[in-house]
Homo-oligomer: A and B are copies of this chain.
Amino acid sequence: MTARPLRIALVGSGFMGRAHAMAFAAVRRTFDLPVEPVLEILADRDPEQAAGAARALGFTRSTGDWREAVADPAIDLVAIAAPNLLHAPIALAALAAGKPVYCEKPLAATLAEAQAMADAAAASGLPTAVGYTYLYNPMIALAREIVAGGEIGEVTAFRGIHAEDFMATADAPFNWRCEPAQAGGALADIGSHIIALARHLIGEVAEVSGRLHTAHPVRRDATGAARDVAVDDQMDAVVRFSSGATGTLSASWIATGRKMGLAFEISGTKGSIAFTQERFNELQLYREGAGLRSGFTTIMAGPGHGEYGAFCPASGHQIGYNDLKTIEVKAAIDAVLGIPGAAKNFADALRTERVAHAIRASHAERRWVEP
């Protein structure tokens, strides 16, 4: 039996566009899918760049106009890895054209746009998926199963952070990540990962009290010109979940030494979980009841955890970041096919964005804010 093709239009060919293309190529060799993803059209800023990237990444066709790609009748799924500013226009056009959409995070550059996207998705009834890559980690699937199954009792606290250091020094240049209009700042750029994780594992956030901090208020752009920075370098918030659990959420791109410090600890009445993305093939689990043999157990990823088994039949071999992206693409395809699965749709992503927005509002107004 030959799987029917699922024709992809991808918009964007930067770091994330390339990661999408590689994941679409890998997904059908990794998973037993009822469809075969076909890299049909690559759209990018201009025809030449698009054509070159299409060749390198294995796309059949290319275009310098994303509107063309989105409207193409052959296309079954529109994947968006374009700059944040373009997420909304592309997604809205795709939904209007009756296409399922798989969009990189953040959902949009502004909350209004994100709301519009979620509304359009709901109105259309079309499947959508958003790329919070770290949610697809088999060890996060395990953590969720442990929490949901009551293995650590009732959750009392979640304390999490996404810490990196790519903007740690004053020398790190002013770029699009420093533009508020581009959804810049540590909170928007990486904070959304820890918010999404918190919601994925613990449930909705009821209220937040947060603070943003700009450690380097002036950075130089590519031309050497000094530019005022109007976005945050780091964010810290106290949070209360709807479940009653409390804790903290932090994000920083100036956390010197942290390369992928997406880390959290969940405390429950009967156990605890600790995790860091810097060792993402591991999960630390503590459970009551072992007496003098108690302690945190380092569980190593293996075939029984989440989608690990699709990559390797043996424990401890480890999957990599690009494999997480492959699982994410698998989830997006499942969403397109109507298979219940792990993908987060626009409605869900909107709730994550609202928490980020609430933290920003809380900072501005110096008060507790409900998302």
Q: Which residues of A contact B (CB under 8 A)?
A: 15, 21-22, 25-26, 29-30, 57-58, 142, 152-154, 156-157, 159, 161, 163-164, 166, 168-170, 209-211, 213, 215, 233-234, 236-240, 244-248, 250, 252, 254-261, 265, 267-272, 277-281, 285-288, 290-300, 302, 304-305, 311-323, 366-368
Contacts and interface: CB of A to CB of B under 8 A. Distances in A.
A302 to B, nearest CB: 7
Given A29-B58, A278-B300, 17 more contacts: A156-B233, A157-B234, A211-B246, A215-B269, A234-B267, A252-B267, A257-B267, A257-B271, A257-B294, A259-B302, A259-B316, A260-B316, A291-B304, A292-B302, A311-B320, A312-B320, A320-B323
B291 A295 contact: no
A211 B368 CA distance: 11
A323 B277 CA distance: 18
Given A209-B211, A313-B15, A320-B318, A272 B246 contact: no
Contacts of A238: 209-211, 236-238, 248
B269 A254 contact: yes
B22 A30 contact: yes
Q: How many copies does the complex hold?
A: 4
Contacts of A170: 269
A21 B26 CA distance: 11
Nearest to A133: B317
Contact of A267 (B255, B271, B288, B368): B255
Given A156-B254, A260-B316, A278-B316, A297 B300 contact: no
Contacts of A257: 267, 271-272, 286, 294-296
Contacts of A319: 320-322
